[in-house]
Amino acid sequence: MTDGTPVPRRRPTLDAVARAAGVSLKTASRVLNDEPNVAPETRAKVVAAAETLGFRRNAVAADLARGGTSRLVGFVTGDLANPFYSALAAGIERELSRHGRQLITASSDEDPERERSLTDALIERRVGALIITPTASDHSALRTEVAAGLPVVFIDRPAQGVDADTVVIDNRGGVRQAVRHLLAAGHRRIALLGDVAQLWTFRERAAAFVEVLEEAGIRDPARYVVAGAHETADAREALTDLLNRPDPPTAVLASNNKITVGALQVMADRRAAGLPELALVGFDDFAPAELLHVTVVNYDMVGMGRRAAELAISREKSQAELAPRLVVVPTELVVRGSGEVPPAAPAGLRGAGVA
């Protein structure tokens, strides 16, 4: 076979650089790693040789030689297209880059099976640490890895079956703020519209929700707790059903931003139909929430990612066995309104009360 294809020029190796500079392989390595004890002239020669050859060190080989662990951190998340997850990713990435580490992301699409295989792939890639928004219910498979010293951090919800660092939102606190706000405005029939009932975050929020209402002396506080509104459309439907009950709620707490949007749609329809207004508080702030005049439970998503990365790196750097740590990210109620259209409200009165 006559080799017709142009040979894909092999990259110059460190060896080639050393030869060109007239030094040994190891000396070249020293120069390129800024190790001490190299004469300035020698250093210059090597640098020049590397430059002219267009040398790029091979981080794969370097990692292997150093012990087989790469300076990569894996992030297994639900869906990168979701602003919540991508905000986490952004925070993680920012923190990592400060420590010379790179982020490798993988979306599980909330599928436990896929989460498992992605995690495996990342471990095979010998990531230095692993950050996971757990979807699977059991993570005991990771126990071996954690025991072997792999830093694993769970974010947004804790994992079961393994002790590891965890970063979560103060779900209960956030719910309490939201519900108290609605109670203070005089609401007594308050609904909670949630995502997936199995999700830890929802269970937390629902528990707090019921608790606060009970404290306020509301009877049958779980009466308007509904889960299963995974997409915006589901949320719409679920809320419509609630409102069609004989004794409908007057206020809603939406458990995430997709649901909030669904609720806002319903509210717009009601308004168009001349029906009474509904009060709304949403979990998760989102870009134009301000324009829509909706009160939300806000927290720092990017900061949350950053915290997770910090935990991962600190564990990776310290050899000692650290006890699992828990970081709870505080929430803050941003009072704006209930999602009513911002009609003629004088600017000064903005964000003052609920409907």
Partner DNA sequence: ACGGAATGTGACAGCGCTGTCCCCATGACT
Partner DNA sequence: AGTCATGGGGACAGCGCTGTCACATTCCGT
Both tokens of residue 185? Answer: 């405005």
Site for its own copies in 270-299 (CB under 8 A): 271-272, 286-288, 290-292
List the single partner that 125 binds among DNA, its own copies, none, CB under 5 to 8 Å by kind: its own copies
| Residues near 47 by beta carbon (within 8 Å), at least 6 away in sequence | 31
Among 36, 54, 217, 246, binds its own copies (CB under 8 A): 54
- Residue 40 binds its own copies, judged by CB under 8 A: no
Q: Does 323 bind its own copies (CB under 8 A)?
A: no
How far apart are alpha carbons 265 and 39 in whole angstroms?
A: 71
86 phi and psi angles, rounded to 5 deg: -75, -30
Q: Which is nearer to DNA, 62 or 302 (CB)?
A: 62
The nearest distance, CB 99 to DNA, in angstroms, is 17
* Residue 77, SS3 per DSSP: strand
| Contacted by 335, from its own copies, DNA, none: CB < 5 to 8 Å by type | none
By the 8 A CB rule, do 251 and 182 touch?
yes
Closer residue to its own copies (CB): 151 or 174: 151
81 binds, among its own copies, DNA, none (CB under 5 to 8 A by kind): its own copies
3-state secondary structure of 218: coil
Nearer to DNA, 33 or 244 (CB): 33
Give the number of other Cβ atoms within 10 Å of residue 147's Cβ: 11
Residues engaged in binding DNA (CB under 7 A): 10-11, 13-15, 22-27, 29-30, 32-33, 36-39, 41-42, 55, 57-58, 61-62, 64-68
Q: Kindly state the helix (H) or strand (E) to which residue 66 belongs, with its residue range.
A: helix 59-66
Q: How far is CA 351 from the centre of its chain?
A: 28
| Residue (38 or 196) nearer to DNA, CB | 38
